[in-house]
Amino acid sequence: MTNPEQLSPLGRRLLDRRSFLHTAGLSTTGLALTSMLAADAKPVSGKAPIRPLIDPNNPHAARKPHFEHAAKQVLVIYCPGAVSHVDTFDYKPALAKLDGQKPPGLPEVTFEGPTGNIAKPFWEFKPRDETGKMVSDLIPHLAQQVDDFCFFHAMTTDTSAHPQGENFINAGFTMEGFPSFGSWVTNALGTENQELPAFVAINDPRGLARSGKNNFGNGFLPAAFQGTDFNAKNPPNNLNRPGTLSADADRGTINLLQRLNARHLEKYPGDSDEFGFKGALDKTTVYDFNATLLYLMRLDHERLTFYHNGLERRLTNVHGQVVKDGLSTATPSFET
């Protein structure tokens, strides 16, 4: 049986004079450093951080930006699985030189499997239009319009995995839990529209992208700034309670959530997570997408109709005129 009065090797070490002074010195230094850093902590340039003034009773109210801007609406078309950039607009001559070889500097096997060989583009690149932008023969008609495009080829990522890469491009971080760009825009600017959500995600009816709702989620921002999922095939989710849930049970759940929200707001006044819940309850009166979207956005039904994989779309016309006055941010996402 172990003698309770006998010190363990670790205990004897802690009673050693040298070890005691070492441990005590580090602890004291850490406490002092924390105090010094807190005393010296100041906002950049002596100014308070830029934060929007948000009314918790009206979190989507329009707010003036800190800087003048030219854009009235934001529309981002994110295409996971779309045509390769190195086969269209992103000219990389080194791919032709290294064709058939292993990528230099990469291991033979990664967590995704064996490293493949480099392949040159399948189409030839040529200088196009007056600017001489290199574009492949895959898209000859678009190639003649490149002077009207703006290209940004300086973006890089730390991962080749699709879900983490989607988090990175739409939220700025490979890890989950961060707000998407649409959530940030809505948090900062609100919306002038009163009939539709401030942030809309128009997803492919066949399913979400690999990273799911992270692509239009609110992360650590209040729930009021999450994206609302729309698509061209079905109305918004959860407009009607499922048939397996009775009206009494549904009302009981809502009443319980309202009591929990009220208790939470007493402890944390102004917390707007409750308003995300209210928005979910009020979808039938506020987000009646099928009946009101085209009318509210003043879009021409015929000109905006086209077909993709046998499904009818009403997203854009030939001039790219999609979002009219009202909708603040939209994120269409189509698998190709």
Looking up tokens 């003043």, which residue turns up?
298
In tens, the pLDDT along 232-256 reads 676 666 667 778 888 888 888 888 8
Other Cβ atoms closer than 10 A to 329? 25
As a dihedral over the C-alpha atoms of residue 271, residue 275, residue 276, residue 280, rounded to 10 degrees, the angle is 160
Q: 117-126: long-range contacts at Cβ-Cβ below 8 A with a sequence spacing of 24 or more? A: 119/95, 120/95, 120/96, 121/86, 121/87, 121/92, 121/95, 121/96, 122/87, 123/87, 125/91
Residue 74 domain-assigned?
A: yes
Do 165 and 220 reside in the same domain of the chain?
A: yes
Do 308 and 180 reside in the same domain of the chain?
A: yes
- Please, which residues have CB within 8 angstroms of residue 144's CB and are 6 or more apart in sequence? 128, 129
Query: Is the pLDDT reported for residue 313 higher than 80?
Result: no
Do 15 and 77 reside in the same domain of the chain?
A: no
Do 37 and 64 reside in the same domain of the chain?
A: no
Cα(54)–Cα(188) distance, integer angstroms: 9
Residue 29 domain-assigned?
A: yes
Residue 209 domain-assigned?
A: yes
Q: Which helix (H) or strand (E) holds 209?
A: none
Residue 130 domain-assigned?
A: no
Name the band, by pLDDT with cuts 50, 70 and 90, for residue 158. confident
Cα(223)–Cα(277) distance, integer angstroms: 8
Amino acid present at 107 = P
Residue 90 domain-assigned?
A: no
CA distances from 141 to 78, 144, 249, 284 (A): 22, 6, 58, 44
- b/e map of 161-176 (b: 16 or more CB within 10 Å)? bebbbbbbbbbeebee
Do 163 and 216 reside in the same domain of the chain?
A: yes
Residue 266 domain-assigned?
A: no
Query: Is the pLDDT reported for residue 303 higher than 90?
Result: no
Do 286 and 222 reside in the same domain of the chain?
A: yes
Range of 65-79, 87-101, 221-235, 276-290 with top mean pLDDT? 87-101
User: Which pLDDT does position 336 carry in this prediction?
Assistant: 40
User: Which pLDDT does position 108 carry in this prediction?
Assistant: 83
Q: Is the model more confident about 126 or about 255?
A: 126
In tens, the pLDDT along 210-237 reads 888 888 888 888 888 888 887 767 666 6
For residue 121, give the nearest of 80, 162, 160, 83 by alpha carbon. Answer: 83
Do 280 and 313 reside in the same domain of the chain?
A: yes
As a dihedral over the C-alpha atoms of residue 272, residue 277, residue 278, residue 284, rounded to 10 degrees, the angle is 150
Do 178 and 218 reside in the same domain of the chain?
A: yes
Query: Is the pLDDT reported for residue 184 higher than 60?
Result: yes
The arithmetic mean of pLDDT across residues 85-108, rounded, is 90
For residue 95, give the nearest of 117, 123, 118, 75 by alpha carbon. Answer: 118
**DSSP assignment of 21-39:** HHHHHHHHHHHHHHHHHHH
Q: Worst-scoring range by mean pLDDT, 26-30, 74-78, 216-220? A: 26-30
In tens, the pLDDT along 82-92 reads 888 899 999 99
Do 185 and 227 reside in the same domain of the chain?
A: yes
Do 199 and 237 reside in the same domain of the chain?
A: yes
Amino acid present at 140 = P
Residue 168 domain-assigned?
A: yes
For residue 209, give the nearest of 86, 331, 328 by alpha carbon. Answer: 331
Q: Helices 273-281 & 247-267, crossing angle to 10 degrees? A: 160
Count how many domains the chain has: 2
Do 177 and 305 reside in the same domain of the chain?
A: yes
Q: Is 114 helix (H, G, I), strand (E, B) or coil?
A: strand
Do 37 and 60 reside in the same domain of the chain?
A: no
Mean pLDDT across the chain, nearest whole number?
73
Range of 28-37, 249-258, 267-276 with top mean pLDDT? 249-258
Residue 190 domain-assigned?
A: yes
Cα(259)–Cα(244) distance, integer angstroms: 24
Give the residue numbers spanning the domain of 205. 56-82+159-241+272-331
In a 10 Å sphere around its CB, with 0-12 CB exposed, 13-18 middle and 19+ buried, how is residue 197 labelled?
A: buried
Name the band, by pLDDT with cuts 50, 70 and 90, for residue 288. very low
Could you tell me what percent of the chain has a pLDDT over 70? 62
Cα(180)–Cα(160) distance, integer angstroms: 20
Q: Worst-scoring range by mean pLDDT, 102-106, 124-128, 308-312, 314-318? A: 314-318
